[in-house]
């Protein structure tokens, strides 16, 4: 509603002309009471206008005053007619131009409002006495440009206003709003800082700054600003419900509900009911209490009863009905919301979600596309589009949309964007798995190369093999590694203990061992460099059982992999004393690791592996050549390794894997 205070310039003329008449009192009321007592001013101005005794200039003043009074009564259409009549009689009436522009703005005739403000500005800028009017007009035109989503043009007008009067608070506030809509929250906060500095006792500046802080997801700062605003204006219901929304987005639903209840006790409004509905919806989702969804829906209905043309509660009731399973009701509400606010990205996205739940994927995609056309970085629309494409079987398209949703900032619309990004993460993992692109997750590796044996001749390749495998795995995401060359019994066991702790927090845990390994009494053992193994009984004390190695990877969440290039000829055998000659065996034994664990031998059980003549053993070389091929599932990697080793060794060495994995596809390198 327009609130105007203005005294006619022709008051003296009007009073003089009518002083001998009974209309003199009407002239006084028309001129002085238009803003403060419109009930009296409107009939007084009307009697003057029908008297037939006014000049054109005087009639212009009377129409102008009656227009002011009608605006004060909320009769904007009537105000427009009177202000237009005034301007028809006096086109230079600056105040009438400004007030008609305000009326057009409130009636959403934005281009007409801008035309009036621009026309008034041309007149105001011609004389120094009107410079103050020019400041207000720039501010009004800028505010109207905000309503048109022309934020840069609006900022230009606010800049011009502040160039004339750098202490004009309204221009700082409105420019701050423009920056907020542009999501340039730091500049917005800087402008609101100026507003608070100039008017520290005005609650509005703190409230505006709180909104910008919420845009940055600084909910603690927002609550602090609302606290200051409420202290200055403790009976303002809007401040309580706004703080309640900040509490909700911060996750403090109890404080949020308390603030909305306080706001309702002060002044029930559509905004308060709508905001409380969102809090009740979040409580329902958190507590799994469906009765709270009913309460939330009822609050949206109360908001609609108070203002049937307010699109937001229709939007939120549509969301709540979908969550409650009422898809038909959801569509009806969201259709209504979009009819009232055709550019609402939220309503379009929510309707897309409902169409997706129904199974009408083409209509869902149309709504998501329109939301993205309006605002290309709307997180929830990209997530919804990804989910719809996934349902249609377009996995590559779904992956691109999920990745887009996750790449965008979520601060500005945290209440919608953050849950959407949580859904996008789940969807992306599903799509990657279906595409054979499972997310790599946390990957850790323990790599040991034992060459410098003390009791038997050294092995040339294990150290080089271990170094090369470590480098290769690092490039595949295994950044967190434990590396040991020439591990003694003590350092081997210590490394396994440390690695076991790392594996417990990892998705993938890989152990690579190159060196000697033996089989005693059906058990597999890896041999540290300080082992003597004079008797078979020494194995229990001096070697590391494979069971201990498997235990070290056992707590990894997804992939547990042990790679053993350890089936070489046993040089300890010639001098080892056996309590039972039947314990003499070749190679490593067959094993059955636990579910979800894979063990790869350089050659199958009961056989020996070559150390090789090159820089690496045949098994390690084949592993290096095949492990990083994009899009090859892990089981296929080891089939390729087997084929290459068989070829390199002319069929003498046959790598073998033991264990079973889940149906999930595992890749060292995704596509």
Domain-located, residue 388: no
Confidence of residue 549 (pLDDT cuts 50, 70, 90): very high
Q: Is the pLDDT of residue 466 over 80?
A: yes
Written as six digits, the tokens of 425 are 């993460």
Written as six digits, the tokens of 8 are 């006619």
Q: Is the pLDDT of residue 632 over 50?
A: yes
Confidence of residue 581 (pLDDT cuts 50, 70, 90): low
**Distance from the Cα of residue 456 to its chain's centroid:** 61
3-state secondary structure of 582: helix
Contact (CB, 8 A) for 504 and 440: no
Q: Could you list the residue range(s) of the whole structural domain that residue 523 is in?
A: 443-658
Domain-located, residue 632: yes
Backbone Cα Rg of the chain: 39
CA–CA dist 58, 260 (Å, integer): 51
CA–CA dist 546, 527 (Å, integer): 10
Q: Is the pLDDT of residue 10 over 50?
A: no
DSSP H stretches of helix in 307-394: 311-323, 327-340, 345-358, 361-374, 379-392
Find the CATH number of the domain harbouring 624.
3.40.50.1460
Domain-located, residue 626: yes
By mean pLDDT, which of 120-129, 176-185, 495-504, 570-579 is the weakest? 570-579
3-state secondary structure of 18: coil
Domain-located, residue 647: yes
**What are 444's strand-pairing partners?**
480, 509
Confidence of residue 174 (pLDDT cuts 50, 70, 90): very high
By mean pLDDT, which of 186-200, 371-385, 510-524 is the weakest? 510-524
3-state secondary structure of 598: strand
Domain-located, residue 501: yes
Q: Is the pLDDT of residue 210 over 50?
A: yes
CA–CA dist 465, 564 (Å, integer): 11
**Distance from the Cα of residue 50 to its chain's centroid:** 63
Domain-located, residue 300: no
Domain-located, residue 321: no
Q: What is the dihedral of CA 352, 358, 361, 366, to 10 degrees?
A: -30
* Mode of pairing for the β-strands spanning 508-514 and 523-526: unpaired
Question: What is the value of pTM for the model shown?
Answer: 0.63
Written as six digits, the tokens of 306 are 């108070």
Residue 9 has what pLDDT?
38
Number of domains making up the chain: 1
Domain-located, residue 358: no
């Amino acid at each position: 509603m327009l609130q105007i205070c203005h005294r006619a310039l022709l008051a003296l003329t009007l009073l003089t002309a009518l002083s001998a008449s009974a209309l003199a009192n009407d002239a006084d009321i028309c001129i002085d009471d238009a803003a403060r007592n419109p009930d009296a001013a409107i009939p007084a101005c009307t009697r003057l206008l029908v008297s037939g005794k006014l000049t054109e200039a005087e009639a212009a003043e009377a129409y102008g005053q009656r227009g002011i009074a009608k605006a004060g009564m909320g009769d904007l259409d009537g105000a427009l007619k009177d202000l237009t009549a005034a301007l028809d009689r006096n086109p230079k009436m600056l105040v009438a131009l400004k007030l008609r522009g305000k009326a057009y703005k409130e009636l959403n005739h934005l281009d007409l409002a801008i035309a009036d403000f621009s026309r008034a500005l041309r007149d105001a800028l011609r004389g120094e006495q009107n410079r103050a009017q020019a400041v207000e007009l720039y501010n009004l035109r800028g505010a109207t440009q905000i309503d048109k989503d022309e934020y840069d043009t609006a900022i230009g007008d606010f800049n011009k206003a502040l160039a004339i009067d750098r202490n004009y608070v309204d221009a700082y506030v409105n420019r701050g709003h423009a920056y907020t809509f542009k999501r340039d929250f730091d500049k917005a906060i800087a402008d609101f800082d100026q507003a608070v500095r100039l008017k520290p006792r005005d609650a509005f500046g703190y409230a505006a700054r709180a909104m910008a802080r919420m845009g940055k997801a600084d909910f603690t700062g927002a609550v602090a600003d609302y606290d200051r605003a409420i202290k200055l204006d403790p009976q303002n219901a809007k401040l309580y419900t706004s703080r309640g929304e900040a509490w909700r987005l911060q996750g403090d639903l109890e404080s949020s509900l308390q603030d909305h209840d306080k706001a309702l006790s002060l002044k029930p409004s559509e905004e308060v009911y709508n905001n409380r509905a969102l809090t009740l919806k979040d409580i329902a989702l958190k507590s799994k209490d469906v009765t709270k969804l009913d309460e939330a829906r009822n609050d949206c209905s109360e908001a609609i009863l108070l203002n049937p043309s307010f699109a937001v509660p229709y939007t939120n009731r549509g969301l709540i009905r979908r969550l409650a399973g009422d898809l038909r009701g959801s569509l009806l509400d969201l259709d209504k919301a979009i009819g009232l606010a055709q550019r609402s990205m939220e309503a379009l996205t929510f309707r897309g979600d409902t169409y997706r739940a129904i199974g009408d994927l083409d209509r869902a995609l149309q709504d998501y596309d329109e939301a993205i056309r309006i605002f290309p970085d709307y997180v929830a629309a990209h997530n919804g589009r990804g989910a719809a494409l996934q349902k249609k079987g377009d996995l590559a398209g779904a992956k691109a949309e999920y990745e887009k949703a996750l790449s965008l900032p979520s601060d500005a619309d945290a209440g919608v964007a953050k849950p959407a990004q949580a859904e996008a993460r789940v969807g992306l993992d599903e799509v990657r798995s279906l595409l054979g692109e499972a997310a790599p997750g946390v990957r850790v590796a323990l790599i040991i190369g034992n060459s410098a044996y003390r009791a038997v001749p050294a092995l040339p390749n294990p150290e080089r093999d271990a170094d090369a495998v470590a480098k290769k795995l690092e490039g595949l995401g295994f950044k967190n590694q434990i590396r040991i060359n020439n591990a003694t019994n003590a350092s081997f066991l210590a490394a396994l203990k440390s690695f076991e702790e790392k594996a417990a927090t990892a998705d993938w845990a890989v152990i690579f061992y190159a060196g000697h390994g033996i089989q005693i009494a059906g058990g597999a053992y890896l041999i540290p460099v300080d082992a003597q193994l004079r008797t078979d009984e020494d194995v229990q004390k001096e070697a590391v059982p494979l069971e201990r190695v498997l235990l070290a990877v056992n707590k990894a969440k997804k992939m547990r992999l042990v790679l053993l290039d350890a089936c070489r000829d046993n040089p300890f055998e010639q001098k080892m004393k056996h309590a039972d000659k039947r314990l003499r065996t070749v190679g490593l034994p067959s094993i059955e690791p636990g579910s979800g664990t894979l063990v790869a031998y350089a050659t199958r059980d009961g056989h020996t592996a070559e150390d090789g003549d090159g820089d690496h053993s045949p098994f390690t070389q084949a592993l290096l050549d095949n492990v990083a091929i994009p899009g090859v599932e892990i089981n296929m990697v080891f089939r390729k390794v087997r084929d290459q080793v068989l070829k390199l060794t002319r069929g003498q060495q046959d790598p073998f894997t033991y264990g079973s994995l889940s149906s999930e596809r595992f890749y060292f390198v995704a596509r």
